[in-house]
Structure 1
């Protein structure tokens, strides 16, 4: 089985350094995590990228929640981030009735051609997650879907994640799944056993939620857990 990927949500260069120290493989950079993560500025990205050698995926999201409130503004921010060196992004939009908003997704992607990107947890808030998966499958640069399996988190969504992992390779299920959103250490063995090899953590590597910084020791505990699970799989 493939080695596990650990992605850590960071909001600053200092947090990026802490995540790297703890053994993260990749970072997701966002701001205002109390609002589920908004787009950083180009300057914030530059400081973060300069602090580490890890890949940094940058959130493209505004106050519209999982809708695009200001599509022109998002496109402008995307271009600014790309000009600052960002090559990987996190995005995903729904219509007001919970359907995939491919018009918005494509408009943002057109502003950052050639990028690699993750479709984020908008999937967990969709009216029909299977329809979203099939609609986005094959979009240029899409290589990962971040999901908890449920809008309320992995504990409730675990059966969905496990079932979807079993459909790997079917239309709508060709992208790598990254499990995240209330992820707990007890979820990891079950997900690994179904072939999920990417894991996304935010508050799980902080002592007191989003108001506290990334704790390198907590990142290290996740790193060790994933490495131990990989070792058992190999054995």
Structure 2
């Protein structure tokens, strides 16, 4: 599969610049000082009017990864409003007081929008044990992406763990999306481990500012070009090895007389 570039957007101007720069998907949220909270329904509608990119909306009401019954009810209602406003998917993730994946709460929420794809966000980087957490995620319906830096401190601290997990388990590599202070020099290592989804936010804004700068389409284009170059190298390697994109032996046409 080719690479996917997801860009964080806070408003329509971000969305337009991200699409112009070559993004494949948007994560829409608010309040990045709290690492992303749910945006208003009007913002979702406004973003949908200016872009046709797939749009995943954050379902998170507080700056923690905990959730209670009242919040779940509010998020359930919000999800339906977001779908009506043009959302294609969601971003969410809850942990128990013991910092394990709260599968019960997550399953309860995603069951209310069955059939809609969703991302488990960087709550995964706050769990105590990674392997049990990833096993728990496999049980959740509709999950197709796990956003992770491999560390709560960012990809620069979690890179070794990300590449190891991706190499050890292709199923993990398939859903893993690397993000969280992701830098260009991380990409070849992640790509070589089988990761094909990448997530950027502050790195596509002037001076990395969430409050003083919008998404810059040129910065997005630089990331797009970087990922396209990795895709091209991978395709060339497959061709030289005589395999298809899925790693199967390439068929050869029988010569005619």
Please give the alpha-carbon distance, in whole angstroms, between the structure 2 residues aligned to 1:177 and 1:157: 13
Please give the alpha-carbon distance, in whole angstroms, between the structure 2 residues aligned to 1:223 and 1:35: 27
State yes or no: 1:47 paired with 2:46: yes
TM-score calculated relative to the size of structure 2: 0.86
Q: Secondary structure at the match of 1:179?
A: strand
Give the superposition deviation at 1:122: 0.4
Give the superposition deviation at 1:207: 0.8
Any residues of structure 2 matched to 1:103-142 within 5 Å, and which? 103-142=104-143
Counterpart contact for 1:118–1:142, Cα < 8 Å: yes
Give the superposition deviation at 1:197: 0.8
Q: Secondary structure at the match of 1:115?
A: coil
Please give the alpha-carbon distance, in whole angstroms, between the structure 2 residues aligned to 1:62 and 1:88: 17
Q: Which runs of 5+ in 2 are unaligned?
A: 237-257
Please give the alpha-carbon distance, in whole angstroms, between the structure 2 residues aligned to 1:183 and 1:26: 17
| Aligned alpha-carbon RMSD (Å) | 1.4
Any residues of structure 2 matched to 1:41-80 within 5 Å, and which? 41-68=40-67, 70-80=71-81
Please give the alpha-carbon distance, in whole angstroms, between the structure 2 residues aligned to 1:190 and 1:152: 18
Please give the alpha-carbon distance, in whole angstroms, between the structure 1 residues aligned to 2:190 and 2:174: 16
The residue aligned with 2:24 is 25
CA separation of 1:74 and 1:40: change in aligned 2, threshold 3 A: same
Please give the alpha-carbon distance, in whole angstroms, between the structure 2 residues aligned to 1:50 and 1:168: 39
The residue aligned with 1:36 is 35
Counterpart contact for 2:103–2:140, Cα < 8 Å: no
The alignment of Structure 1 onto Structure 2 pairs a total of residues equal to 232
Please give the alpha-carbon distance, in whole angstroms, between the structure 1 residues aligned to 2:201 and 2:79: 23
> Which is further off, 42-51 or 25-34?
42-51
The residue aligned with 2:191 is 192
Please give the alpha-carbon distance, in whole angstroms, between the structure 2 residues aligned to 1:77 and 1:65: 18
**Deviation digits for residues 73-94 of structure 1, max 9, x if unmatched?**
2222112212323231111100
Moved over 3 A (4+): none
Counterpart contact for 2:21–2:219, Cα < 8 Å: yes
TM-score calculated relative to the size of structure 1: 0.94
Counterpart contact for 1:145–1:175, Cα < 8 Å: no
